[in-house]
Structure 1
Amino acid sequence: MADFLDNTQKADPNRCERALLIGVNTPEMRPGEAQELLDELVELVENLRIGVVHTELVNLREPTPATLLGSGRTDQIITLAKHLECDLIVMDESLSPAQQKNWEKLSGIAVIDREEVILDIFADRAQTREAVLQIALARMEYSLPRLARAWTHLSRQRGKGKLGGEGETQLEQDRRLVRDRITRLKSELGIVQKQRGVQRRKRLRVPVPTASIVGYTNAGKSSLVNSLTGSDVLAE
């Protein structure tokens, strides 16, 4: 346990969740790549105002169907998370719905992966109507096969999980509601995209060049805009 604590960080006491981040080093990765991805995940998680109390990098030769990692390593991580009083375990690797459910059942702690972290960031920062609809749709499609989990992003925001699970009738009702929501979102998104297409065609009639800047969170997009245009866009 002492070796594990070398990477322990002091979390912001004002943050509502304490997270243990797990990086996964696979044979096909180049040297140092897994650590770079884990460092990046720390920044992403902190953008959600979650305190990162510890990071751990594990080697994975071959994934296991139940929990991705072997049973011994899984137990070790769960023990560490409980020792550090973590509310959340974040895996820097995609978890299947079954793997996510198994982790939460074994640990009694909310478990998410990089994909869910990124979806949460996009949801937090979506500005346009189209962006809000797109991220809502992505979250619904991500959540649909995971409704049997002990925690969802909504229950985590409320500060409680669905301990003990839900009856099949309630689960089926939830699935129907989510499917209906997905259908409505796709319909709304189609209307918004059609309107955007009309607006774009109007802009193309005016001979003014347009450009887009694309980059990860904290990549320096706002700073680049300020440098190129002399603007004063807020850069965090």
Structure 2
Amino acid sequence: MHEIFHTKPEPVTGYLVGIRRDSMTAREATEHLDELEQLSATYGIPVAGRELVTLREINAATLVGSGKVEQVAVACRALDAGVIIIDDELSPSQQRNWEKTTGLAVIDRREVILGIFADRARTSEARLQVQLARAEYSLPRLTRAWTHLERQRGGGGARGGAGEAQLEVDRRLLRNQIDRLKRELKHVRQV
């Protein structure tokens, strides 16, 4: 019989992208980015680099301009960063567009905070709340998981394809999980 040794993988390093909106001073934006760096460290992602982007107008596809996304990708490759952490909340499509352009995992501030809560939840109610929050956060983001099956669509007049069918199955399962977690949470609160 062979022994299998599991080694803990080296932690992936992150690259932070701070967003300075018109309503923020440079100092406020920097403090917000400093806080995200601390949150990232708490979550177990050491920071390889960071930059602050002044947002003049919102790009619906990526939040920031496509040129800035490319610049961030270049910086990440130079620093060997494995994940980009955006100091703002991204829509699911913005997150997918960042990932498609950079080829890296992209998470936002909310995902980091949910991860920290998940790591630290001790009571059954707290664990259920975190599981529910993560499931609700994940539901609109499911499409990225099945993009490798997109080419299997069509043919023979059939609607959709393997990727679409699997996506619908996953959505249904996740909705069922959300409903179950809500029931469990309600039960725990009544006890």
Q: Same fold (TM over 0.5)?
A: yes
Query: Structure 1 CA distance, aligned partners of 2:149 and 2:92?
Result: 15
Aligned match of 1:148 in 133, 143, 147?
A: 143
Which residue type is aligned with residue 34 of structure 2?
D
Query: Structure 2 CA distance, aligned partners of 1:107 and 1:87?
Result: 10
1:90 alignment counterpart: 85
1:132 alignment counterpart: 127
Query: Structure 2 CA distance, aligned partners of 1:30 and 1:102?
Result: 28
1:164 matched to 2:159? The reply is no
Q: Please state which structure has a larger fraction of its residues in helix.
A: 2
Q: Deviations over 1:184-204 (max 9, x none)?
A: 000000001111xxxxxxxxx
The secondary structure found in structure 2 opposite 1:149 is helix
Aligned match of 2:96 in 92, 98, 101?
A: 101
2:183 alignment counterpart: 187
1:115 alignment counterpart: 110
Change (3 A) 1:102 1:115: same
Aligned match of 1:55 in 36, 50, 74?
A: 50
1:33-44 mapped onto 2 (5 Å cutoff): 33-44=28-39
Query: Structure 2 CA distance, aligned partners of 1:169 and 1:66?
Result: 26
Which residue type is aligned with residue 105 of structure 2?
A
Which residue type is aligned with residue 119 of structure 1?
L
Query: Structure 1 CA distance, aligned partners of 2:16 and 2:140?
Result: 23
Unaligned runs of 5+ in 1: 1-13, 151-161, 196-236
1:28 matched to 2:27? The reply is no
**Number of paired residues?**
171
Alignment TM-score, normalising by the size of structure 2: 0.85
TM-fit CA distance, 1:163: 7.1
Question: Is the CA contact 1:15–1:50 (under 8 Å) kept in the aligned structure 2?
Answer: no
- Higher relative contact order structure (alpha carbons within 8 Å, sequence separation ≥ 6): 2
Change (3 A) 1:177 1:184: same
Structure whose alpha-carbon radius of gyration is higher: 1
The secondary structure found in structure 1 opposite 2:143 is coil
RMSD of equivalent CA atoms: 1.5
Which residue type is aligned with residue 138 of structure 2?
S
